Structure 1
């Protein structure tokens, strides 16, 4: 099995298991595993993550889990900020991008490691603890989001930041989307994952079009990596319901720290 296939399957598998977080490992897999530069790896990683996320989003749409209005708003704002991230990325030194990526990985690891210990069930009815802390709430009668100014502004801010990171680091932003959705809305977990995957797919598509327009070309190894990532995503989505969420979070946190250390060592 070639390294492109192996790393592609692993990234897709983690992406499918975590719902979105695995996308942040696509760039390190290409940089550390295949010896590519950050600027070479970013567009291929975006294509891989975007294609894999699209498969997950289609599955979510088929099952009626995707909050497509929220996903569209975040994707539109994210698409607007992706070129800003690309502009900054092309003006930063390779070592600076690697260091920044490592810091993001460590931040994600800390959040994932702390989450299993800090998970507290929020109240499921008005008046319970935590009920008023949600920026976006579902309407009990329609099952849809209540589109208040606060909710719209929250989703727009999250989408914009994800777009910026997509352009800057070549990641889909799922590591931000999933926890933000869980913290700021009362959408159920399966819908959170499906909606996040749709946002990632749409934002990544915008960044991919921009990269191709600017003359970026995908080598044969990159195509193999992308296809393998899509296959891993399908397997991950099938296996995800059978794996403990806490085990996934802690394992992913450890992996992020190891990858961050490898990137820093490579600088």
Structure 2
């Protein structure tokens, strides 16, 4: 492969790596369209190649954030584990639909995630109202009553959190397998909006989930890999280097700016892929 032929995958990989390192996701949103429209791959081949590129880049970016902004390991591992079986199902479905259906689904979900992020960025999460505790009965002291109420609230909150993590993880896992993306463009909105996680922590946690989802989805495709390593290898190397640049840029920006920038990126890509797919019908 000539040096000139290496330039497109290297340049695109660098851009994708900056996005993953800076936003904690969204690399697959750029990688799949880039592989299809700019490098001439089929949607199925692009989704497989994207899993390799995004998974390795996310792992590299996650290592760089463990000591920085931190990672919510419990939530991240929970999301990843919940997504393993559904990622397998998504990968099976990937080979049963047409390229146009794949790309239209990709565009639609991207636009929905972008809209949700923009709406959420308009205001801070509402403060949690204090819960009034019932007055103590004759057989129980005030201290016992307060303790019991706190225990019930903690149990209820834990169950709700587990249910949210399981639901989000299963959904993201399926879409990772189906669309061939790490799921960051869905994980970030889910962590910020559904689980109310600060953007800085959501970025590191998202990278962990992307890595786990990419590995599980790749394992489900192991028997039918369609990978052009002449394109994927330089793309991946450049993406890993780009994550370092992206992290340094993100460290200088506020969570609000990162959230809105990520949403605008999703809107642009979603509109572009959607229009291109509709024109090809």
Same fold (TM over 0.5): yes
Matching residue of 2:179: 169
Tell whether 2:268 aligns with 1:254.
yes
Tell me the distance in 1 between the aligned counterparts of 2:210 and 2:40. Answer: 25
TM-score (norm 2): 0.80
Tell me the distance in 2 between the aligned counterparts of 1:251 and 1:109. Answer: 7
Cα 1:54/1:34, change in 2 over 3 Å = same
Cα 1:247/1:203, change in 2 over 3 Å = closer
Tell whether 2:145 aligns with 1:127.
no
Matching residue of 1:37: 42
State which drifts further: 100-109 or 65-74.
Answer: 100-109
CA contact (8 A) 2:28 2:180 kept: no
Matching residue of 1:245: 258
State which drifts further: 242-251 or 8-17.
Answer: 242-251
Matching residue of 1:230: 240
Matching residue of 2:146: none
TM-score (norm 1): 0.83
Cα 1:184/1:149, change in 2 over 3 Å = same
Matching residue of 1:182: 192
Cα 1:147/1:113, change in 2 over 3 Å = closer
Unaligned runs of 5+ in 2: 132-155
Structure 2 counterpart SS, 1:242: coil
Matching residue of 2:93: 88
CA contact (8 A) 1:19 1:197 kept: yes
Q: Give per-residue Cα distances to partners, 1:110-133, cap 9 Å, x unaligned.
A: 3344344x223532x6539xxxxx
Matching residue of 1:27: 32
Matching residue of 1:205: 215
- Residue 30 of structure 1 and its aligned partner are, at CA, apart by 0.6
Q: Give per-residue Cα distances to partners, 1:195-223, cap 9 Å, x unaligned.
A: 11101111101112222333444421111
Matching residue of 1:10: 15
CA contact (8 A) 2:69 2:200 kept: no
Tell me the distance in 1 between the aligned counterparts of 2:188 and 2:211. Answer: 14
Cα 1:266/1:222, change in 2 over 3 Å = farther
Structure with the greater alpha carbon radius of gyration: 2
Unaligned runs of 5+ in 1: 129-145
Tell me the distance in 2 between the aligned counterparts of 1:163 and 1:107. Answer: 17
Q: Give per-residue Cα distances to partners, 1:19-61, cap 9 Å, x unaligned.
A: 2123322111111111111011011111111111111221232
Tell whether 2:121 aligns with 1:110.
no
> Once superposed, what is the RMSD of the aligned Cα atoms?
2.5
Q: Give per-residue Cα distances to partners, 1:160-191, cap 9 Å, x unaligned.
A: 11110011000111122112111233433211
Tell me the distance in 2 between the aligned counterparts of 1:187 and 1:110. Answer: 18
Tell me the distance in 2 between the aligned counterparts of 1:30 and 1:175. Answer: 18
Tell me the distance in 2 between the aligned counterparts of 1:86 and 1:40. Answer: 12
